[in-house]
Structure 1
Amino acid sequence: MKKNPFYLKEIPVDAPFCDREKELADLISYAKSNINVVLFSPRRYGKTSLTKRVQNSLKSDGNLTAYCDLFGVTSVEEIAGRIARSIYAVTHKNQGMFQKAIGFITSFRPVLSPSPEGGISVSVQTAFKTDGLKILEDTMESLEKFIIDVALPVHVAFDEFQEIAEVHNSIGIEGILRQYIQKIQCSFFFIGSRRRILLDIFNDRKRPFFQSSLNYELKPLPHKDMVLFITSEFKSAGKYINEDDASKICQLVSNHPYYMQKFCFFLYEEIDKEVTQKDIAEIKAIVVESERVVFESILQGLRTKQINILSALAKEPTAKIYSASYMARHNLGSTGGIQQGLSTLSKKDLIEKDYRTGTWSVVDPIFVCWLIQMSL
């Protein structure tokens, strides 16, 4: 049997990619023009995969590209360490450049060790003890000097950048980062899934990063392109799905890139040669069940009133959430409780408002299926 053409993990940079040609071209152009970009979308829309494709293209043109994942950072020291590590990780295979990085980045020493995959794992140790904000300032100053000295076009991607807003003295951290980023002659991408928190960093007049970068939204994949991708990938791997069934899958996952890949991965594994309606129904149940632990964990972090709002919007998206009939139908309680719940849930990027229609809805299409299934 041929290899499954769909992916459950991050899509490799050399694997077939559904659409995104325009986005890829836009982002490469912005990077080459030293434009800073805020790349945002709901979770698992392919931002990281797209960014790595951008950086792969830039690398082939002679650029130095650093990728810094800020997910889960809890302190300013950790932010500084992740930045230093990203530079060591991208330079350690070039002895001359690696020595330059070590010479400039004096606040952290690189630690190289064998990785489980057989390569080299890069981590860092603090070189000396200092105040948190001071170590971040030293690291950013070192980064500026290194980029000047390396004399190559440089691109830096900060993934899950909104995480810095959860760290103590976040405004001070933003201030130091902005101070250096606006001086450094390269392009920075700020990537994130918790859209409200991320966009507040860049669009709030009182924040250091206000209007410092171009906002770029990664939208759902076009329906026609997704249908064509699904049918062609099945065909290339020796199996068959008709356009109507591929379209039904796209509708079930609301053209969500990750869920399309996951649904089709399981479907390809399940069928012998040709997809049937029964196969699609069975795989839908499998996909929903595969996310159950994640969804249960989300609910454990919410209050009962917030869960009630989620459940109501899953069953019935609405622009009239404060109407007496809607509130009574879904047992939502007071308008004050609803306002607070909407604010909390939107900050967590669990719900969103369509500002053209005013309609509130749950962001994740499979979460919607699960909430309805659970009748919460």
Structure 2
Amino acid sequence: MTLTSFDATEPESGTKPRVAVLFGGRSSEHSVSCVTAAGVLAAIDKDKYDVVPVGIARNGQWVLVNADPQEWTLTAGQLPEVPDSAEQVMLAARDSAAELLMRTGPESTRSMGRIDVVLPLLHGPFGEDGTLQGMLEMADVRYVGAGVLASAVGMDKHFMKLAFAAAGLEVGPYEVITDRQWQRDPEAALQRAAALGFPVFVKPARAGSSMGITRVTEAAQLRSAVEIARGHDPKVVVEAGIPGREIEVAVLQGRGIEDPRTSLPGEIAVQPGEHAFYDFEAKYVDGAAAALSCPAELPDDATARVRELAARAFDAVGAEGLSRADFFYTPDGGLVINEINTMPGFTPISMYPQMWAKSGLPYTELIDELIHLALSRPTGLR
């Protein structure tokens, strides 16, 4: 894919856009976010951008961190972590951009310079769910990716499915178990879940990276699976197992008023062995657990259809920047949407960048395109 240049809002004449690469966070996907940041910090074009790495510790504090990508990689199975640091920073609103401030005392700060755009590489609640996006909107700073509503809908598997159904996309059978329902009458909730048939997948409603997900094959396993999911989120979604192949499509916002762009579809095949599905270990720890096929071996009409449906899913939640749409391709040729991820895994070996690389847009150019898209759109309502 060849990309031509286009006009974006430049921060100041003759200066490079200053990009805050933001990662870590308070969710259970903290370390996944760090690994994503390692890939981006290694690949981002530093001749074009002044890069400022900012980590969010698990306690929510923002800190200046080491820009060395090796600091944040997954090595020997060890998960990286943003440390709590004395070098705490914050964003403050400034005329046409934002200012990064460092706390130097209980009531004093010093400026670390402007920030023109934030690249928020956070996964899960308190980062991917609209909370961070709302803060950035309040600070009047541009950022990569979906806005407040799209981020919130894309994080919640319940409301995501409602949005998909309203847009005419086929959604598989599911049940929602709220915290109140579980505390009031867990047996009734378990009966509703069991009525879907087996296998089912029990998931936290607002988590990603396969955190807290259990594949359940009999009723006796349901209660434990719900409790595991509730360890991540008091709201749980139980999905009926859909027979078929798992097909994914990377979506990239169009320029200006253009339609969303879609990659060639990809397919993850989990290798026979210890992993019953594409779980956290298979995604991030066991490098031999799964293989990507892109383009996926599909009939031409199915390829065209899944790309069209992925773009429709992107619009259904009001996404911006990037998303990955996941489908089941059923034996009868149907396409059932599973979910959309508004901040998909973004390491060089993650599905989203790999599918774009196979479609002609290499990793570094993809990062560049996302930053330009963010700089070209206005802050506030749009």
Q: Quick check: which one's strand share is greater?
A: 2
Which is higher, the Rg of structure 1 or of structure 2?
Answer: 1
Q: Quick check: which one's helix share is greater?
A: 1
Q: TM-score, normalised by structure 1?
A: 0.23
Q: TM-score, normalised by structure 2?
A: 0.22
